[in-house]
Amino acid sequence: MSSDLPQIILITVVIILTIILVVLGIQIFFILKESKETLQKVNKILDGASNIVGSSALFKNPIVKVLAGTALAFFTGQKKIKQIKEVQKTQAKAKEGKVRRFFRRS
């Protein structure tokens, strides 16, 4: 009886660790998949920006093309963020007029 207890504990610990490692492996797989998709999107953005910048005779150096494309992508992203914030502000102002109160103020 006393020799069975350590074996049972060892088996349960091994099973629990196996389950944890399988779950972690699945999570790492999803993280790698998402990072691949993100890199593909960044690559498309840089390709589009390099096509815009590449038509100019000023940008013949590949390093300058990448830097200019990155700056172009950054500033267009900043412009979109500002537009989103403006829309959120107008929506918040519209909601302020329609506030419902449960209790009357006296």
- Domain presence at residue 26: yes
Domains in the chain, number: 1
Residue 52, pLDDT score: 62
What domain range includes position 14?
Answer: 4-96
- Domain presence at residue 103: no
Residue 28 and residue 40: Cα distance in Å, rounded? Answer: 18
DSSP single-letter state for residue 11: H
- Domain presence at residue 104: no
For 34-67, what is each residue's pLDDT tens digit? 999 998 888 887 777 666 655 555 555 566 556 6
- Domain presence at residue 50: yes
- Domain presence at residue 12: yes
Tokens 């498309």: give the residue: 44
Residue 9 and residue 77: Cα distance in Å, rounded? Answer: 55
Residue 88 and residue 100: Cα distance in Å, rounded? Answer: 20
